[in-house]
């Protein structure tokens, strides 16, 4: 039966005819050795190469299969995404009142400020403060009656209460920090104003936090 090797053997026989009576098996062996020498100079994929390629592909595939669950675990779960942002209906909060809502497991004050509270906050814009900020920088344009702040004292995280102290804003009962009606720190150990969450108005009566 004729094989590819024997085909090459026959083709090269045209360049180098065997002597009369020489052994055909010897010719095959000699040309096979020559082919091997030729392959050394110009390597081509052989069976071992394919095995290596398959092994590499399998390794990469296995690594990807392991990596995907790890990457997937880094993506927030659907319920976490749902809690990442919340919408709140402001019409529930009467003028001069506030509610505390939960966002990402932390309390948030939603305060409906009176004109007097707003005026008092603006009047102190240039007063000496630890964490200077204008009242306008702490509310959304056109919605200055709404003050939305994280309800955690910036000292050690207690929840302040509204209506105490000389600035008409919040008093932290833990160590006596005082915040004004813009929730700016005015006295006591707290170093910063109450933090503002990332939020926006979806309408005049609805906000989205987060
Ligand atoms: S935690 Fe509020 S003053 Fe210390």
Q: Using one digit for the tens of pLDDT, what is the confidence trace for 36-83? A: 333 444 455 555 554 554 454 444 444 444 444 444 444 555 555 556
The pLDDT of residue 162 = 97
201: region left, alpha or beta (phi > 0 left; psi from -120 to 50 alpha):
beta
**Euclidean distance between CA atoms 139 and 145, whole angstroms:** 8
User: In this predicted model, which residue has the larger pLDDT, 48 or 196?
Assistant: 196
> For residue 152, how far is its CA from the centre of ligand 1 (angstroms)?
9
pLDDT of 191 > 90? The answer is yes
- Residue 155 appears among annotated catalytic residues: no
Which residue out of 190, 192, 194, 195 has the highest number of ligand 1 atoms within 8 Å of its CB and is therefore the one to mutate?
190
Question: Cα 144 vs. chain centroid, distance in angstroms?
Answer: 32
For the entire predicted model, the pTM comes to 0.64
Q: Among 15-29, 81-95, 114-128, 182-196, whose mean pLDDT is lowest?
A: 15-29
- Can you give the residue ranges of every domain in the chain? 4-74, 82-209
Quick one: which atom of ligand 1 is closest to the CA of 177? Answer: 3
pLDDT of 30 > 90? The answer is no
Shortest-distance Cα residue to atom 3 of ligand 1: 175
CATH architecture observed for domain 82-209: 3-layer Sandwich (2.102)
The pLDDT of residue 164 = 80
């Amino acid at each position: 039966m004729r094989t590819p090797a024997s085909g090459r053997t026959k083709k090269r026989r045209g360049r180098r005819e065997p002597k009369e009576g020489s052994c055909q098996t010897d010719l095959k062996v000699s040309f096979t050795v020559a082919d091997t020498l030729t392959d050394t100079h110009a390597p081509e994929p052989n069976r071992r190469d394919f095995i290596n390629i398959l092994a590499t592909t399998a390794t990469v595939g296995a690594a990807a299969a392991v990596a995907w669950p790890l990457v997937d675990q880094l993506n927030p779960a659907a319920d976490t995404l749902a809690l990442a942002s919340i919408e709140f209906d402001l019409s529930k909060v009467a003028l001069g009142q506030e509610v505390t809502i939960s966002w990402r497991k932390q309390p948030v004050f939603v305060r409906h400020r009176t004109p007097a509270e707003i005026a008092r906050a603006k009047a102190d814009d240039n007063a000496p403060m630890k964490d200077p900020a204008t009242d306008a920088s702490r509310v959304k344009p056109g919605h200055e009656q709404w003050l939305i702040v994280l309800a955690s004292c910036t000292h050690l995280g207690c929840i302040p209460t509204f209506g105490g102290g000389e600035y008409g804003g919040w008093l932290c009962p833990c160590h006596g920090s005082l915040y004004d009606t813009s929730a700016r720190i005015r006295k006591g150990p707290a170093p910063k104003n109450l933090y503002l969450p990332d939020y926006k108005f979806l309408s005049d009566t609805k906000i989205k936090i987060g």
